[in-house]
Homo-oligomer: A and B are copies of this chain.
Amino acid sequence: MRTLAKDILEGKLTGEAEVSGWVHRIRELGGITFVILRDRSGVLQLVLQDTEKPSLTLESVIRARGIPALNEKAPGGTELRVTSLEIISRAAPDLPYQVNGDLAKIGLESILDNRTLSLRNPKIRSIFKVQATIIEAFAAYLRGQDFTEIKTSKLVAGGTEGGTELFEVEYFDRKVCLAQSPQYYKETMVASGLERVFEIAPAYRAEKHDTPRHLNEYVSLDVEMGFIESEKDLIELEKGVLSNVFEEVIRKNSNDVAAWNSTVPDPALVSKAPTVPYDEAMKIATSEAAKSKGGGGKIFDINPEAERFLCTWAGREHGIELIFVNQFPRRHRPFYTYPLDLGDGKASSTMSFDCLFRGLEITTGGKRQHDYNAFLEVLPRFGLKPEDMENYITLLKYGCPPHGGFAIGCERLTQKILGLANVKEASLFPRDRKRVLP
């Protein structure tokens, strides 16, 4: 009967115990061999007398029996004095790199090329323990608000936002595309009467740029909600989601976060995150740019630089590097975004928002047009024809409530909670223009 390292360290066992795991470290000392065994719960020191010492290699999987004994020099204060040891799977000695070493010395490409090994490093693995908590906390919060989880097709006849940046799939005798977002489907599910839905699923962007903030395949944490007044209802909802995510990561992953020398924002501060209209955000970003080292000119867009300035400003003025920018101009948003008239009678703005966290956009969202006639009216301005929009037209024609939603990039949120330099570090098997393996 297998026991976990953690249970032995917690003193749950006194008699003989059996442990299994990987050989994390081997040290010889005056005829005695100390082996650090690693399992999913942590590490445990095994003490082997010369007589029982088989020929061990790092990363081999072993099973050991022995008697737990206190030793203040051992990690966790308890060791296992081994009476028998068996090699279950011998690791070849030519490890591409040392799992127990400092991964900072190994480049990102090598970490990603050798996921089988790099993920054995507890610090690297901790990224995905945090990510699992993010996903769980996202879903749990929304279920508590009466949201239903949905699973929709990732094979679509065309893109929601037009034909660009789509990956094509050979689907029997025709071509379809990988979905950029479950946008249309989640709107359909709101209008179906579920009213409040969320989906956790892959999304695809055939963008060519290779930057520390882009992935061609990512996990999209999607939300859609009916019977809202404006994007402000969505911002309130996202604050609730983020607050719960932060709370759960603090509760479950404090060691994982500490491994990255990061800290999770205080969940109580999330409600204090400012909401700033686009025009004002521009001014703030421009003013922050001017204050920054070497000055800086006027900011003309909420670009990556502006995102960093705005988060710095929010951190200083509101105590949390989290800010919602709303009221994006019409030209920056997809055709289905709900219009907003800021007083010029031209409805040149929209009920839309971005959420920026620690210098990075992690969410785009907004209220959608639910009015059939208004929808038809706006199509020509975007070069679209009603006959290409048959799905949307059915959706809006037969009674559609006011609604809206947003999507959180799961890897980006993971990245920013842990302070990772590159979003690819937060994807188990990231896909970029060059990488399709492993």
Interface residues of A (CB under 8 A from B): 2, 20-23, 38-40, 59-61, 88-92, 95, 114-117, 119-120, 122, 125, 128-129, 131-132, 135-136, 139, 143, 146, 148-157, 167-172, 174, 176, 178, 184-185, 188-189, 191-196, 200-202, 206, 208, 217, 219, 227, 370-372, 391, 394-402, 410, 427-431, 433, 436-438
Contact = CB atoms under 8 A, between A and B. Distances in A.
A136 B139 CA distance: 9
B119 A188 contact: yes
A200 B40 CA distance: 21
Given A89-B401, A125-B194, A394-B114, A436 B176 contact: yes
Given A40-B193, A116-B192, A169-B167, A20 B157 contact: no
Please name the 9 residue pairs, one residue from A and one from B, whose CB atoms are nearest each other, closest first.
A119-B192, A91-B399, A40-B195, A59-B399, A153-B429, A132-B149, A168-B170, A91-B398, A61-B399
Contact of A399 (B89, B125, B167, B227): B89
A19 to B, nearest CB: 10
B202 A154 contact: yes
Nearest to A193: B120
Contacts of A132: 148-150
Given A61-B400, A153-B217, A120 B178 contact: no
Given A371-B89, A399-B89, A40 B155 contact: no
Contacts of A21: 193
A95 B397 CA distance: 9
Contact of A169 (B120, B148, B157, B168): B168
Given A128-B150, A143-B136, A39 B436 contact: no
- So how many copies of this chain end up in the complex? 2
A128 B148 contact: yes
Given A40-B146, A168-B169, A172-B208, A60 B217 contact: no
A68 to B, nearest CB: 19
A150 B200 CA distance: 12
Contacts of A195: 39-40
A197 to B, nearest CB: 9
A433 B171 CA distance: 8
A154 B194 CA distance: 28
27 contacts: A39-B195, A40-B146, A40-B193, A40-B195, A40-B196, A59-B399, A89-B371, A89-B396, A89-B401, A91-B397, A116-B191, A117-B398, A119-B192, A132-B148, A135-B149, A151-B410, A153-B427, A153-B429, A157-B437, A167-B169, A169-B169, A169-B170, A172-B206, A185-B429, A201-B202, A391-B438, A394-B438
Contacts of A371: 89
A263 to B, nearest CB: 23
A200 B149 CA distance: 12
Given A22-B193, A89-B396, 12 more contacts: A21-B193, A23-B399, A38-B193, A92-B372, A92-B397, A120-B193, A125-B192, A150-B428, A153-B427, A168-B169, A171-B431, A188-B438
Contact of A200 (B155, B170, B172, B200): B200
Contact of A370 (B89, B129, B172): B89
Contacts of A438: 184, 188, 391, 394
Contacts of A120: 191-193
B151 A398 contact: no
Nearest to A196: B40
B88 A219 contact: no
Given A40-B196, A131-B151, A171 B167 contact: yes
Most buried by B among A192, A370, A397: A192
Contacts of A194: 40, 119, 125, 128
Given A150-B132, A167-B170, A169-B168, A61 B401 contact: yes
B433 A172 contact: yes
A195 B146 CA distance: 33
Contacts of A155: 217, 431, 436
